Amino acid sequence: MVETARKGIDRTLISFEEDYAVRYWCNVLGCTQTALRSAVRAVGNDAAAVRAQLKKK
């Protein structure tokens, strides 16, 4: 049996590598996955920049 350990969530950078991390960021930022992806495309994966971008909309 192969066990995989979850990596901790980096609270400064947004990553789409793990589903649980995407759910975490959508919950924290109060947005949909589509809005999160759009914001990351616009400003990069820095959480503070994404938060500011989402507040603009």
pLDDT tens-digit readout, 10-42 = 889 999 999 999 999 999 999 999 999 999 999
Domain presence at residue 12: no
Domain presence at residue 5: no
* Separation of alpha carbons 15 and 36, rounded Å: 10
Is the backbone of residue 26 left (phi > 0), alpha (psi -120 to 50) or beta?
Answer: alpha
* Pair of tokens at residue 40: 């990351």
Domain residues for 40?
19-56
Domain presence at residue 8: no
Placement of tokens 């947005």 in the chain: 31
The reported pTM is 0.82
Domain presence at residue 31: yes
Domain presence at residue 3: no
* Rg, the chain, Cα only: 12
Domains contained in the chain, number: 1
Domain presence at residue 14: no
The pLDDT of residue 1 is 47
Between 5 and 51, where is the model more confident?
A: 51
* Pair of tokens at residue 9: 């969530």
